[in-house]
Chains A and B, each alone.
Chain A
Amino acid sequence: MSEKKSRRGFVKTVGVGVGGLIVGALAGTAIAPMMTPPPPKAKFADPPPSGSTVIHGMDAAYPPFTQIDPSGNAVGFDVDVVNMIAKKYGWQVVHKPWDWSTIITAVQSGDLDFVASGMTETAARSEIAWFGVPYYSFIHQLIALATDTRTRDQILNSNSFIACQTGATSDEWATKLLAAGYTFQKLGLDSYELAFEAVTDGRAVAVISDSAFTGPYFKTQPDQAAKFRVVSTIGGDATYGYATRPGDFGLRNQINQALEGIMGTTDWQSLRDKWNV
Chain B
Amino acid sequence: MTAFAEFLPYILSGMVWTLGLVAGGVGIGFVIGLFMAIGQIYGGNEVKAIIHAYVWFFRSIPLLVLLFLFYWGVFPATGFKLDPLACSIVVLGLRSGAYQSQIFRGGIMSLGDTQLLAARALGMSQMRGIFHVVLPQALRISMPGWSNEYATMIKDSSITFALGVLEILTRTRYVVNATHEPLIPYFFAGGLFLVLTYAGTKAVNIVYERTKIPGLVGRL
Contacts and interface: CB of A to CB of B under 8 A. Distances in A.
The majority secondary structure among interface residues of chain B is helix
A193 B72 contact: no
Contact of A97 (B9, B73, B74, B164): B164
B10 A62 contact: no
A63 B177 contact: yes
Interface stretch (B131-139, B168-176, B192-200): B168-176
Interface stretch (A67-75, A129-137, A139-147): A67-75
B182 interface: yes
A67 B182 contact: no
B164 A99 contact: yes
Contact of A37 (B53, B68, B77): B77
Given A37-B77, A60-B174, A70 B72 contact: no
A2 interface: no
B41 to A, nearest CB: 21
Q: Which of B76, B161, B166, B182 has the most CB of A within 10 A?
A: B76
A194 B77 contact: no
Given A70-B6, A97-B164, A99-B162, A61 B73 contact: no
Interface string B93-112: 00000000000000000000
Contacts of B9: 70-71
Contact of B173 (A101, A190, A217): A190
A34 B180 CA distance: 44
Interface string B5-26: 0110110010000000000000
A20 B178 CA distance: 48
Contact of B10 (A34, A68, A191): A68
Nearest to A37: B76
A21 B140 CA distance: 37
A224 B180 CA distance: 10
Contacts of B13: 72
Interface in A88-138: 96-99, 101-102, 105, 109-110
Contacts, number: 71
B166 A97 contact: yes
B68 to A, nearest CB: 8
B77 A35 contact: yes
Nearest to A101: B162
Nearest to A96: B164
Contact of A61 (B6, B162, B163, B176): B176
A37 B164 contact: no
A220 interface: yes
B73 A35 contact: yes
B177 to A, nearest CB: 4
B73 A70 contact: no
A166 to B, nearest CB: 11
A72 B175 CA distance: 9
Nearest to A97: B164
Interface in B77-120: 77, 81
A270 interface: no
A36 interface: yes
Given A70-B7, A97-B164, A99-B161, A109 B76 contact: yes
A72 B180 contact: no
A35 B78 CA distance: 8
Contacts of B175: 68
A263 to B, nearest CB: 26
17 contacts: A34-B77, A37-B72, A63-B178, A68-B175, A69-B178, A70-B9, A72-B171, A97-B166, A99-B163, A102-B72, A190-B173, A191-B177, A193-B176, A193-B180, A217-B180, A221-B180, A224-B180
| The 7 residue pairs across chains A and B that have the minimum distance between CB atoms | A37-B76, A70-B6, A61-B177, A60-B174, A72-B10, A35-B73, A67-B178
Given A36-B73, A69-B178, A109-B72, 13 more contacts: A35-B73, A36-B77, A62-B177, A67-B174, A72-B171, A97-B166, A97-B174, A110-B81, A190-B173, A191-B177, A193-B177, A197-B182, A220-B180
Interface of A: 20, 34-37, 60-63, 67-72, 96-99, 101-102, 105, 109-110, 190-191, 193-194, 197, 217, 220-221, 224
